[in-house]
Structure 1
Amino acid sequence: MVFLALSLWIAAASPTPRSGPPQAVPQAPSDQYPSEEALRRYAQGRLLEEEDEPTAALSEYYRAFHMDTRSVRTAQRLSEVSARLGDAQQSLEFAEKALAIDPGSARALWLKGGALFNLGRAPEALPSLQAAVAADSEQTEYLSTLARVAEGLDRQDIAARAWRGVVGIDDRDGEAWFRLAAAEARSARFEAAKRALAEAVSENPDRPGALFLEGWIEEGLGNAARAITLYQQHLKLHPRDDATRRRLVGLLADARRSSEAYREAQIVSRTRPGDAEAIGVEADLAFKVGQTTEAGQALERLARLAPDDPENVRQRVEVLARNKRGRDAIQLAESWAAGHPGDVRGTMLVARARFLSGDREGGLADARKAVTIAPDSLAPRVLLGRFCQVAGRWDEASDVWREIRRRDPTRTGVGLDLAYCREQAGDLSGAEQAARDVLHVEPEDPRALNFLGYLLADHNLKLDEAETLIRKAIEQEPDNGAYVDSMGWVHFRLGRFDEARKELERAASLTGSDPVVCEHLGDVYKQLQLNDLAREQYKKSLAADHTNTRVRSKLYGLR
């Protein structure tokens, strides 16, 4: 059989006799061999590879390539075997030789990308791997390599497309389905992630990590109770998974299941005794469940990690202030400031302690003082801007955000804060301009797209543009409840009440019945004359925000 295959190869490589004058030999990629010896060496190399003798195979390929330096096939084998032997630099060298002969070779592009990745040059590897897939999208090894490199670079959009390509070729590849689900979840495409995970589990029900991923997806879809159950099941199998336990702590705390959250937080801090964040969470929850002695002990452990570090002091100040220990928080901040005279961080600590303890005027005064002490630093200005915004000092907050934006135009988040404060101050045109300024710098920023779209829709302006903007945001994050709410509100403004109902019911599910979403959904039900449903949504909105007089009036206005 081997002899027959070799004979056929030789026949295919033999030149066909031609009549007429001799022609110049074209310098094109060679899959032919100038001698039977070169072909024999190549064939021997392939046999040695099959016999798991890569070093000996490499020697044969060297000889074959020496005899025919225009052979793409031999250069590719040299690159591939070198990679197999762990020599990424040599693999790259021969991949580039193959590409010098045939720049469009998909396999050579793939080999080059793999070699670059193994050399720690992932950003350079990505374009080669994308080119390989563009040249030949039917090879799952090309697609999966591209996907894994993209994952490492946090290019989840590319990773998801590549994994979709893999399962499009082999829909029984459970691992590819799982990786696709993870990529979709990281891109906040939770409905797509849920579908992909269902396929993965059908192929491999016991795949490690499936419970966690399902929990993460359910969390993203607003199903907190289901996510809690899944995380708990995952932790029974993987009790040392601190990352999942941290997520569980957060969900339990948000659900006001403080006792359970505290028990889980204790486990995290015991397994990570040097983790300041974990200890801070434990202390905070201890206060919330009435374990004041344990809370104090946790704060002492936190202090011992770095007693003089201002970040450590900030954590302790915030825990104390949030839990009605304002006097202790202020005393701690003032003590650090007294020990570091002239350090603006001390003034900022005192400002934070006062503001969070309820002395907003004192906190604002200290924040302004911090700006005066360090006028060239952005940190005090950010603190002042945040305090002004929380306190409803819209004009002052706008001035602060505008100055920060002037100093650093790349801070898109600050630009949106500026837009929000201007809107709250009644400066609608100024808010619109601030949002457009952000989009001028980051035209695809989904937050800015949604902000401007919702701003226009909420004020019943430029509704066609608003719909376009929000749709662009949703294309990037289709399961973002805030964006879905915005789309529902655009439909409402346009009088498309059935479409609005569909979007807003989904938004309510995604956000766990956010009070604004519930109000919007109540308005839609009212327009559809579904007053019982409207009443239910207004009550949900008020349960989350009992100070909202607008919603209360809507509720009382229902017959």
Structure 2
Amino acid sequence: MWRSVGVAISLFVSAQATGRDQDHSQYSSEEALRRYAQGRLLEEQGVRNQALDEYYRALSLDPTARDVARRVSEVAAQMGDPGRSLEFAERALATDPTDARARWLKGAALLNLGKDADALAMLQSAVERDSDRIEYVRTLARAAEQLDRFDLVAKSYRRAVWLDDEDGEAWFQLAAAEARQGHFGLFFLRGWIAEARGRPEEAEKDYRQHLQAHRDDETARRRLTAVLARDKKYREALEETRILARAHPRDLELRHLEADLAFEGGTPAEGMQSLDRLRADFPDDPEALNVRLAVLAQHGRAKQAVTEAERCLSDHPNDMRALLLAARSRELSGDTAGEIAHLRRALEAAPDSLAPPVLLARVYQQSGRASDAEPLLAKAHARFPDVPAVAFDLSQCREKLGDFAGAEAAARDVLNREPDNATALNFLGYLFADHNRKVNEAVALIRRALAQEPDNGAFLDSLGWAYYRLGRLAEARSQLERAVAVSGGDPVIHEHLGDVYKDMKLKELARDQYQKSLSFDRANERVRAKLSSLR
């Protein structure tokens, strides 16, 4: 299954072309660039030794090419050669001491060489520079564990679950680290297990008992809040959120949740008070205004959201962020034409920025205008080749246009740059499986993704679907049943598992899966037809 990555494009991205374009000028010779490109191609084909030979030739032509040195370090690490990985990470850092990925590579190499203290310092600096890369955070946790720094282990896994709150392994490691410090007791662990098994009442009870003894445990309080909100106990969830928000008044996510829960709990006056406090605390912050507009629109106040966004735009008529906010308000109010008009103006105001063309392309696609979206995305991908989300959008757009080869090419562009990008491996694998093409390659790609994230429900679904395409029904069933368990339920996974059961002549099981799929989307005619065919 391909699950949209959500995507790593903020409404307020305003990177200039000079800062984010692929900078081929860093290579002092065209031959060095050609060697580097050939090395990336060989990497994708799995011929790492030959890829290294090309990288070495590129470095001999241009000794200061940071990307090449970093690539050698990464490949050496994948081949189990930490000494060589360390050498070339240091070479990359000699060119750019601030490079977070080179610092991570150096730290990981030091860790694998048994130099735990040195590794810890380097990995901490990598995370300080880029705390949104989950692999950096996980490696830091490993180093901290080697040194019995359980406080830092817990901090690292807290960040990991913040980045991916569906990462069961990270939650388990966080619980273990907290328990070693005496922070988590039996009740937290019981609550976490009950939550994972879909038993919200047990989870709530256990988390509350834990919090009686550990009132300052914010991780447990966040879990309790999530359980209460999912169980539609909005007033109780609101009280827990307010405790967290008082401790972190600058946390926009908590302030968003606080206002949203007040509306959901049937107290709109309290919701508006929360939004007014948010505006007072963040008077000129576009992200805070975006939160306010989203909550207003979600709770029947779309016209007010549009009015406030247009007022902001009138105060800042040529500001890209104000234009994007105005477009967002139109989207929330269902005014597609108004949204497109504002996004076009944003594109004119900031032609070298990433957000306007990508957001405009998405609106075009949602409006059935994929042919208008494709050139925007192709241009954005050419300008920002290091942003995988743009390549994925381009691939999906071309798929809608019936251009399978173009869709494949866009996805492969990501793997040419990042051969071990798990999301890209799954994306391309699912593309193949869903179109019933190159399915054996799809299996290989998805397995590589799962080797990195074995409990990823979307990846498990992709593998199960590929097995189904190959007629390997028993293996498909095993993977898809696990995907359902890990994901907690998803309409696509339920549909896929229903198809497997149907072909295995397990009609009652198939019927149950189709019904579960429809519980997410009653209007899905394809699933309705499959369900009807069983009667």
TM-score, structure 2 as length reference: 0.69
> Relative contact order, CA 8 A, sep 6+: which one is greater?
2
Question: Which of 272, 277, 284 is the aligned partner of 2:253?
Answer: 277
Q: Write out aligned runs for 1:351-500 (5 A).
A: 351-500=327-476
- 2:480 maps to which of 495, 504, 519: 504
Residue 349 of structure 1: aligned partner: 325
Cα offsets for 1:207-248 (capped at 9, x unmatched): 324679858976996858476666545433332344553454
Q: CA deviation at 1:535?
A: 0.6
Would you say the 8 A contact 1:212–1:244 is kept in 2?
Answer: no
2:426–2:446 contact (8 Å) kept in structure 1: yes
Structure 1 residue 286, shift from structure 2 partner: 1.4
Q: Please state how far the C-alpha of 1:182 moved relative to its aligned partner.
A: 5.1
Distance in 2, matches of 1:537 and 1:555, equals 9
What does residue range 252-291 of structure 1 map to in structure 2 within 5 Å?
Answer: 252-291=228-267
* Residue aligned with 2:471, SS: coil
* In structure 2, C-alpha distance between the alignment counterparts of 1:480 and 1:243, rounded to whole Å: 22
Structure 2 vs 1, CA of residues 133 and 310 (structure 1 numbering), >3 Å: closer, same or farther? Answer: closer
Q: Would you say the 8 A contact 1:287–1:295 is kept in 2?
A: yes
Listed one character per residue, the Cα deviations across residues 336-387 of structure 1 (whole Å, up to 9, x for unaligned) are: 1112233232222221111111112221222122212322232322332343
Q: Distance in 2 between matches of 1:444 and 1:360?
A: 38
Structural mapping, 1:107-122, within 5 Å: none
Report if the CA contact (8 A) 2:443-2:463 is conserved.
Answer: yes
C-alpha contact (below 8 Å) 2:395/2:408 kept by paired residues: yes
Question: How many Å separate the matches in 1 of 2:221 and 2:383?
Answer: 40
Contact 2:309 2:329 in 1 (8 A): yes
Unpaired runs of 5+ residues, structure 2, are: 1-82, 87-97, 128-135
For the 8 Å contact 2:309–2:325, the answer to whether it is kept is: yes
- 5 Å-filtered alignment, 1:186-265, equals 207-209=182-184, 214=189, 223=198, 225=200, 231-265=207-241
- Quote the sequence identity (%): 43
Listed one character per residue, the Cα deviations across residues 147-201 of structure 1 (whole Å, up to 9, x for unaligned) are 786577454565677799x79xxxxx9979x879959976989676688789989
Offset at residue 311 of structure 1 (A): 2.6
Q: Rg bigger for which structure?
A: 1
Instruction: Return the offset for 1:519.
Output: 0.5
Aligned to 2:5: none
Deviation sequence 1:255-301 (CA, Å, 0-9, x none): 54433332322222333344443222211221222211101111110
Amino acid aligned to 2:401: A
CA distance, structure 2, for counterparts of residue 261 and residue 552 of structure 1: 36
Residues 399 and 264 from structure 1, CA distance in 2 versus in 1: closer, same or farther, beyond 3 angstroms?
farther
Alpha-carbon distance in 1 for matches of 2:414, 2:190:
34
Matched, 1:322 2:321: no
Q: 1:132 to 1:506 in 2, by over 3 A?
A: closer
Choose 216-225 or 270-279, whichever is displaced more: 216-225
| 1:92 corresponding residue in structure 2 | none
In structure 2, C-alpha distance between the alignment counterparts of 1:133 and 1:438, rounded to whole Å = 28
Label 1:271 to 1:163 Cα distance change in 2 as closer, same or farther (>3 A): closer
Q: Would you say how many aligned residue pairs link Structure 1 and Structure 2?
A: 428
Give CA deviations for 1:322-342 in whole Å, capped at 9, x if unaligned. 212111001101111112233
Work out whether 1:337 is the aligned partner of 2:321: no
Q: Partners in 1 of 2:195 and 2:374 — Cα distance?
A: 32
* CA–CA separation in structure 2 for the residues paired with 1:210 and 1:145: 32
Q: Is the 8 A contact 2:150 2:180 kept in 1?
A: no
Q: Which moved more, 1:338-347 or 1:178-187?
A: 178-187
Q: Deviations over 1:361-418 (max 9, x none)?
A: 2212221222123222323223323433444543333332222112111111111111
Distance 1:371 1:174 in 2: 48
Q: Deviations over 1:31-55 (max 9, x none)?
A: xxxxxxxxxxxxxxxxxxxxxxxxx
Aligned to 1:35: none
Which residue identity is paired with 1:207?
Answer: G
Identify the residue that residue 507 of structure 2 maps to in structure 1.
531
Q: CA deviation at 1:145?
A: 7.4
Question: Where in structure 1 are there 5+ consecutive unaligned residues?
Answer: 1-105, 110-119, 168-172
Aligned to 2:494: 518
The whole-number CA distance in structure 1 between the counterparts of 2:278 and 2:120 is 41
User: CA 1:337/1:507 → structure 2, altered by over 3 Å: closer, same or farther?
Assistant: same
Conservation of the 8 A alpha-carbon contact between 1:276 and 1:305: no
Contact 1:354 1:362 (C-alpha < 8 Å) held by counterparts: yes
Q: CA deviation at 1:497?
A: 0.9
Corresponding residue of 2:534? 558
